[in-house]
Amino acid sequence: MNVKDLSLPAKPDSFGEDYKFPEDMTRLSNEQLSGLMSRLAAYKGYVLFLLALEEVNRRRCENALRIAKSEIFISKDDGKRTQKSINEEIANLPEVKDIAEKLEWHETSIILYTHLKDIYQGHIEVLSRDISRRGIRL
């Protein structure tokens, strides 16, 4: 599969700007309600795309880290040292630390994007209920 052949969501123009979710839906016009629903759906789609990218990057880092550790372990295993001492030495090598830091960054991003997706989904559900209650056709 070639990612370039897929239709991927572009970053929404207002993405990155804070928004205030209305505490009282009755104050919104039908147009405002519909606009907010569209905006949050666009945000959710974009965050799901970012989440997918981070998951791919996390897996690449996990593989790179596993390969680097294995290769270094093999080169350092002289039969005279314990596996634990070799692993401790490997964990302190700059190239291993660099990959581990990248892995941690991707894992943190995944957590953030997952929670953002859940927030947008919750807001969309509230808006959807109000749209249904009003009988609005989008």
Query: Residue 113: CB partners within 8 Å, gap ≥ 6?
Result: 47, 50, 51, 54
| pLDDT 10s digits, 90-106 | 888 889 899 999 999 99
| pLDDT 10s digits, 65-92 | 999 888 887 887 777 777 788 778 888 8
pTM of the model: 0.84
Q: What are the extents of the domains in the chain? A: 30-134
pLDDT > 70? residue 138: no
pLDDT > 70? residue 16: yes
Mean per-residue pLDDT for 96-119? 96
- At residue 29, the pLDDT reads 93
